[in-house]
Structure 1
Amino acid sequence: MNDDIAQPALRPVRGAARCAVAGLVLAGAAWAARAVWQVRLATAGLPPSGPPDQGDGWHRPLTGLEDAYHSVSTLGDASTLLCAAAFLVWLSRMRDNARVLSGQAPRYAWPWVYAGWIVPVMNLWVPRGIVADVHHQSAPGEPLPRAVNWWWGLWLAGMVSGLGLMSTGSTDDIIERAYTSVRLLLLVDAAVVAAAVAGIVVVRALTAVQQERMAAATGH
């Protein structure tokens, strides 16, 4: 696919990479905190009054622990959004540089850098394809770091489960699941945290490779 906008100059990526790493650390910590609170809910056990959602649109007052989980969940959602924004800034800048270094148009047009994460079906492979394309254009002939596949596999595990990154359930639904099937929730949390760790490795590895190629291209 061809881009409509050319990027004639190389752009610094170290700052964007640091922000992306910080975002991944924050998101991973937030999901770990969710797991801790889910274990606390499971340990406390379902109150005699039943789950928060009583059905027919009626919700009982939350316990102190449930209310705290709502706060933890909100902070987790905010940190995930910040992480996504930082990661996309880094990826967009890396993609622009890869195009300059290779002299070739990227495999995917620029809207897919953003739309690829949310368009159904396409989001199962387009983001990984963009990352892989960046590496191949930045370091032709070098094998794709294994961390990319680990990161993407773990991301998919956390996304398609229906309980993780793309969950459409309410926080009260997650609380009820913590009381009844916390192990599944913890597996999803573990996948998301591990994906964040693998993502840090990916950001650092691809940034280092591109920085080396940029230094060779500019003589610095």
Structure 2
Amino acid sequence: MLCSTCRLRPPVTDDGRCSNCAGPAGAAAPVPPAPAFVAPQQYLRSPDGLAKALVVLLSLVAVTDLLAVAAGLNLHGLITDGLANDFETYDESAATMADNLYGSAGVLQGVMMLATGIVFIVWFRRVRLNAEVFDPSMQPMAPGWAVGSWFVPVANLVLPRRIAGGIWTASAQTNTDGSWRTVPATLMNLWWGGWVCTLLFSWTTTRLSRRAEEVEEIIDATELTMASDAFDVVAAVLAILFVRRLTRMQGERAALGTYPLGTRA
């Protein structure tokens, strides 16, 4: 039997240590130093599930926009036909139904936009946190701005695009030899341009619709609203392409295997 500590000499103490390891009589065994605190690692989290949900929601947004266009065309046709003959053959019940359908389509649009906006911000935050793992030096703002930037008046026309640019650049670096890789940001710019134009378009049409009182003003506001809804379909398609592309880029970046992957929340 050998010393329980050094495994070289026979034990001489009750706890199985040799004379060298036991030291002076009654001396306690050396206590190993406590391990230093290690900060928890950053983890990558897959944005795939959120991206799939977002694609579905954006598709539904496009569908509700098309329904709104159809309802607008129906209402527009009734009003213009009535105006053509001084409303002599104007069907009041049909006009009321058309107006209700038009209003219901607008409510449905609002609900879908709200749900989509929430999921989009959650996805945007996820890809921003991943970009912090990929390359924090490329991020122009702190991770919290991935959420907060959308709620700053006027600045929300610029700040989210800056954040998206940092995410895009960090996610594009998949060259294993360390060389710099540049992925054209055309799709990202189209997405952002579509979003800003839709926002401004919607704001303008809402103001005109609220002010419209005369029949001609109502017709003009309805036409502009239909154009806004049609443009929103284009913006939704561009957003789908952007979400899918950036999500795929992050998957390729994570596949390099040089980052601590995990499932921590």
Structure 1 and Structure 2 fold alike (TM over 0.5): yes
Question: Would you say 1:118 and 2:138 are equivalent positions?
Answer: no
Q: Equivalent residues in 2 for 1:129-140 (5 A)?
A: 129-140=162-173
Q: Which moved more, 1:16-25 or 1:113-122?
A: 113-122
Verify the 8 A CA contact 2:64 2:109 in the aligned structure 1: yes
Q: How far has the Cα of 1:30 moved from its partner?
A: 1.2
CA distance in 2, matches of 1:144, 1:34: 34
CA distance in 2, matches of 1:68, 1:7: 53
Look up the match of 1:83: 116
Q: Alpha-carbon deviations, 1:127-168, whole Å to 9, x = none? A: 12221211111114322431111111111111113246xx46
Look up the match of 1:59: none
Which amino acid in structure 2 is aligned with residue 117 of structure 1? Answer: W
CA distance in 1, matches of 2:77, 2:258: 59
Look up the match of 2:192: 152
Decide which of 233, 255, 258 is 1:215's aligned counterpart: 255
Look up the match of 1:56: none
CA distance in 1, matches of 2:225, 2:136: 45
Q: After TM superposition, what 4+ stretches of structure 1 lie above 4 angstroms from structure 2? A: 167-174
Look up the match of 1:27: 61
Instruction: With a CA cutoff of 8 Å and minimum separation of 6, indicate the structure with the bigger relative contact order.
Output: 1
Q: How far has the Cα of 1:218 moved from its partner?
A: 5.1
- Structure 1 residues 150 and 213 mapped into 2: Cα distance closer, same or farther (>3 Å)? same
Look up the match of 1:196: 236
CA distance in 1, matches of 2:47, 2:66: 28
CA distance in 2, matches of 1:196, 1:125: 19
Verify the 8 A CA contact 1:116 1:122 in the aligned structure 2: yes
Verify the 8 A CA contact 1:135 1:206 in the aligned structure 2: yes
Verify the 8 A CA contact 2:65 2:233 in the aligned structure 1: yes
Look up the match of 1:180: 220
Overall identity of the aligned pairs, in %: 29
CA distance in 2, matches of 1:137, 1:99: 8
Verify the 8 A CA contact 1:41 1:66 in the aligned structure 2: yes
Q: How far has the Cα of 1:192 moved from its partner?
A: 1.2
Q: How far has the Cα of 1:44 moved from its partner?
A: 0.9
Q: Which residues of structure 1 form unaligned runs of 5+?
A: 1-5, 51-61
Q: How far has the Cα of 1:216 moved from its partner?
A: 0.8
Q: How far has the Cα of 1:20 moved from its partner?
A: 1.2
- Structure 1 residues 9 and 173 mapped into 2: Cα distance closer, same or farther (>3 Å)? farther
Q: Equivalent residues in 2 for 1:62-101 (5 A)?
A: 63-101=96-134
Which TM-score applies when normalising by structure 1? Answer: 0.79
Q: What's the secondary structure of 1:117's corresponding residue?
A: helix
- Structure 1 residues 7 and 93 mapped into 2: Cα distance closer, same or farther (>3 Å)? farther
Q: How far has the Cα of 1:118 moved from its partner?
A: 3.0
Q: How far has the Cα of 1:103 moved from its partner?
A: 4.1
Q: What's the secondary structure of 1:216's corresponding residue?
A: coil
Q: What's the secondary structure of 2:255's corresponding residue?
A: helix
Q: What's the secondary structure of 1:143's corresponding residue?
A: coil
- Structure 1 residues 111 and 98 mapped into 2: Cα distance closer, same or farther (>3 Å)? closer
Q: Which moved more, 1:196-205 or 1:143-152?
A: 143-152
Q: How far has the Cα of 1:68 moved from its partner?
A: 1.5
Q: How far has the Cα of 1:198 moved from its partner?
A: 0.3
